[in-house]
Structure 1
């Protein structure tokens, strides 16, 4: 497993944080550093048709070694990390033979990764964990996925006796800011279907995700000297707070799970003259998703009736539930499920409480379920990944490729 550890650490040490406020692709110049490294590494291990386009999308081909037609399938991961937490100077720590107790990430700052709080840790007792040093995120989301794809391709190249059809791989920028698939060239990629290696816990297999929209509320107030403000001042902060007070209190992320949707308001800034709220809407059910948007518009309308035309709302759909695009081709999920069972991995088929490049790609004509990459506690200092989970994800990729070749031989 040392090759997996070395490869993963070489990736996470490169800062690739994306920036939602940028209009370029990739959104940060530093993402090119890993994109270029990946393109060169794919060439070095023997992949063909390696390309990197003007937007930093990296693609490559593992040619078929069969003398019959097998569909081209793909594997995709993103190389940017979340803007929610620093990805600069990542200093991974390797915990061998994890004893099941607290892990001190940073003794000086008393930052502890504890199974008493993060109960998933308990299932990895005896395994090798890679953690942060408490100062940054780790980047397993989704450099673990990249590690697994590259390692699987290298394994197949070095083991030519394993029968496989054509395989395409791709690594994308800006997934963490919802733009990972925006400039993905599906036609150039040329796969019938693909899998994103972007899940968490070992065994995860997902083909449902949230319908998603962003929300921006703007309130234009009027500032007047408070001593003479009666009947004149319009306090934008107060009105913005009133908007928040009218939101369903139990339909927030901290109170929801499984298929329950939510409203999430994560940014508030303002003063008397102007206030702005940014948030998101999420729901697996399209009708409930639309109802959430209508509720926000109705609240804004009611506030406008009371305070005048000083409050506005902007709602932008971001992506949709890929379930409706996957269900007509469920054999692609069945193959992944069988691959896990053949490897004695229990498949955990459940909806994603988030999004994935696979959602947008599915609506662009590339059906794309999501498979575990192994990491936990993404986007923060408590992120970690078991090396054994990355090894098992690599095995799943290889097995899916084998089973696809076998499936289409049996079908013939």
Structure 2
């Protein structure tokens, strides 16, 4: 199997170029993509793919980038897609990102120059202990870095160039998909899977070196509406039942030592209020509900409902409505039906000289939804850390291993299939 080499620092230069392009998505926008500036990166990627010799590279009107690396084998191999998202999180500024390379990292705390209060502490970022001698890329202290997921984009692009340049490497047809708006939950809303024409996919959007994730949260969204009783505050005694105060009581009465993001880890789920609005007469809260099974989601929704019912007993003239809607489901339900996809991913990681770590995601990815749209799709590591924050960082050497893993996946699928 041919080995990828990061020649003339091509990988980090490519990543830095992408990181400097502002692609922050906007949850309050109804357009697709939610911000036109995401297309600036899409256009750059198409230009580069065409320059590689990938003739069908294009970006559609919704900002999705599609491309095909032609097969180099006579075998009938399933069509693989590698997917990453182009947008960065709205949680932290992505404008005027200034990437910095900290070469030959020796375990020190990294003080970021544009805001020296932003310190990436080795005591808090446990994966840094594995980076001694490596080159760490951070932002300058006033923005996020955008390694989530421009590390994945750069890695797929490097792998594409490597495979196109080295046509002696045997692989089947490979599809590339870059999506907008993943950070606001719309990453595959308008992905054209017929046009894509893949049998399965791998998102490249994971964290720790060697990780492959075949399981995500299942997710519901809940809207709790309180209908109170309004009255002039000067004459409200015995009449007013404030929807704002009722809603506040319900939220305060929810469990505090469990079922919250700040008290759970691993396979523990939660109920999390993310938005409140209202007036005396009516108030509303939006919640996200997360766990790894549908049964647990139902149980958590009942906790919310039972809490509301208990509080409302003290307000006889008020009422509530709880609406729960499915958002996405644990991709393991689909991937367990296709065990080779994950098995070959693990083998690809191990062939890159890394210990593979099969993990669960306390969140969702484009792969969650793609899996239920008919495109089974685990997630492999990109090397990004502390995403959605000014302390975000990525290791060049971890990124190199991700590129090699992508190449290995393509080769392994070709090896496993017989001639037509």
Cα distance, 1:302 vs structure 2? 4.0
- 2:413 is paired with a residue whose SS is helix
C-alpha contact (below 8 Å) 2:246/2:312 kept by paired residues: no
The match for 1:190 is 197
C-alpha contact (below 8 Å) 1:207/1:323 kept by paired residues: yes
Unmatched runs of 5 consecutive residues or more in structure 1: none
Q: Aligned to 1:329, which of 306, 327, 338?
A: 338
C-alpha contact (below 8 Å) 2:71/2:172 kept by paired residues: yes
The match for 2:150 is 143
Q: Aligned to 2:274, which of 266, 269, 274?
A: 266
Q: Aligned to 1:12, which of 9, 13, 19?
A: 19
> Is 1:351 aligned to residue 360 of structure 2?
yes
The match for 1:384 is 393
Cα distance, 1:114 vs structure 2? 0.4
Q: Distance in 1 between matches of 2:411 and 2:215?
A: 25
Q: Distance in 2 between matches of 1:198 and 1:182?
A: 18
C-alpha contact (below 8 Å) 2:114/2:140 kept by paired residues: no
Q: Aligned to 2:380, which of 371, 382, 387?
A: 371
The match for 1:218 is 225
Cα distance, 1:271 vs structure 2? 5.2
C-alpha contact (below 8 Å) 2:69/2:174 kept by paired residues: yes
Equivalent runs, 1:93-108 vs 2, <5 Å:
93-106=100-113, 108=115
Relative to the length of structure 1, the TM-score reads 0.95
Q: Distance in 2 between matches of 1:236 and 1:121?
A: 48
> Is 1:316 aligned to residue 325 of structure 2?
yes
Q: What is the RMSD of the two structures over their aligned residues, measured on CA atoms? A: 1.8
The match for 2:303 is 295
Equivalent runs, 1:12-411 vs 2, <5 Å:
12-106=19-113, 108-222=115-229, 224-249=231-256, 250-270=258-278, 272=280, 274-307=282-315, 308-409=317-418
Relative to the length of structure 2, the TM-score reads 0.93
The Cα offsets for residues 339-387 of structure 1, whole Å up to 9 and x where unpaired, read as 1111211111011111000111111110001000001011011110001
Unmatched runs of 5 consecutive residues or more in structure 2: 1-5
Cα distance, 1:6 vs structure 2? 1.0
Q: Structure 1 residues 223 and 89 mapped into 2: Cα distance closer, same or farther (>3 Å)?
A: farther
